[in-house]
């Protein structure tokens, strides 16, 4: 988390808040919320929830892919444990899963072991997709909601400090009585533009990937129910899951 790009957004929010305070002091604008809180809603717990959601989706794809490739027992067990642990860490996913469902997801892989028994692996894929369908859809919804351009919490937490900082910095840039004052205002404006560029790219990328993955998960679930899925379908889905993980890595790793 300390090296994450989402944390970079949070740190950018802190820095913009500090710059606004340096330029204009405390504000009476209620829209700025608790001015003692520099991170403006980028609480560590919220960051961890978003990161865990992305990790759970990646683990889901990884587990399915391991079942349709010549994976050994250790790899299968690791993928299964990662999936169960990831789902259990996200409240929004846990709400959609009973303890019995989580247990079923874990034990079905244990029953496969390291043997290449086609029927057993197909049963495992079917169980995982069926039991986790609602939770996976919920995770996709969570990411699409939180990163929605203009309305998601990431955008709003940045905008709530960006707009006042631009206004205050512009005033100082025009009315500042010294070069140092105007230079500080100019640097603050550059800081806002940098954060806005990062925000625009990340929000659309993650939102598009989450929406696409939910649609793909629905198609996979239907194929499972119809017994029409193939190993290629699973591999393609796993690649999409990794693509979403890569999108979130724009936020979670430098």
The DSSP annotation for 131-160 comes to HHHHHHHHHHHHHHHHT-TTTSHHHHHHHH
C-alpha to C-alpha distances, 94 to 178, 192, 253, nearest whole angstrom = 56, 37, 25
Say what the pLDDT of residue 7 is.
57
C-alpha to C-alpha distances, 40 to 4, 149, 241, nearest whole angstrom = 17, 17, 30
CB 46 within 8 A of CB 92: no
CB 104 within 8 A of CB 127: yes
Helix, strand, coil: what percent of the chain each, to 5?
80, 0, 20
Say what the pLDDT of residue 113 is.
62
C-alpha 105: how far from its chain's center? 23
Say what the pLDDT of residue 140 is.
92
Distance CA 254, CA 243 (A): 16
Say what the pLDDT of residue 88 is.
85
Say what the pLDDT of residue 138 is.
93
Distance CA 41, CA 32 (A): 11
CB 229 within 8 A of CB 124: no
Distance CA 243, CA 4 (A): 17
CB 237 within 8 A of CB 216: yes
Q: Does the predicted model carry a pTM greater than 0.95?
A: no
Distance CA 38, CA 18 (A): 7
Q: Cβ atoms within 10 A of the Cβ of 216, count?
A: 19
CB 206 within 8 A of CB 147: yes
Q: Which residues have CB under 8 Å from 135's CB, separation 6+?
A: 56, 87, 93, 94, 96, 97
The series of mean pLDDT values per 10 residues for the chain, 254 residues long, is: 50 64 58 46 67 84 81 76 86 86 82 67 87 92 88 76 75 79 79 72 81 89 88 80 64 44
Say what the pLDDT of residue 231 is.
81
Distance CA 209, CA 250 (A): 12
C-alpha 161: how far from its chain's center? 22
Say what the pLDDT of residue 2 is.
26
């Amino acid at each position: 988390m300390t090296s994450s790009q989402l944390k970079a957004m949070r740190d950018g929010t802190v820095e913009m808040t500090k710059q606004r305070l340096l330029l204009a002091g405390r504000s009476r604008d209620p829209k700025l919320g608790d001015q003692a809180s520099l991170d403006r809603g980028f609480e560590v717990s919220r960051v961890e929830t978003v990161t865990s959601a992305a990790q759970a989706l990646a683990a889901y794809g990884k587990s399915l892919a391991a079942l349709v490739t010549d994976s050994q027992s250790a790899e299968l067990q690791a993928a299964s444990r990662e999936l169960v642990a990831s789902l259990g860490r996200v409240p929004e996913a846990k709400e959609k899963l009973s303890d019995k469902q989580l247990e079923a997801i874990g034990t079905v892989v244990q029953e496969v072991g390291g043997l290449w028994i086609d029927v057993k692996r197909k049963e495992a894929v079917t169980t995982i997709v069926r039991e986790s369908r609602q939770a996976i859809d919920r995770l996709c919804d969570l990411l699409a909601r939180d990163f929605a351009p203009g309305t998601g919490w990431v955008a709003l937490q940045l905008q709530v400090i960006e707009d006042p900082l631009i206004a205050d910095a512009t005033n100082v840039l025009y009315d500042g009585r010294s070069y140092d004052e105007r230079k500080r205002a100019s640097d603050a404006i550059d800081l806002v533009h940098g954060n806005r560029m990062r925000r625009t790219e990340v929000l659309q990328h993650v939102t598009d990937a989450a929406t696409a993955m939910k649609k793909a998960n629905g198609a996979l679930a239907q194929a499972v129910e119809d017994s029409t899925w193939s190993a290629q379908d699973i591999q393609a889905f796993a690649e999409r899951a990794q693509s979403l993980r890569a999108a979130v890595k724009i936020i979670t790793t430098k």
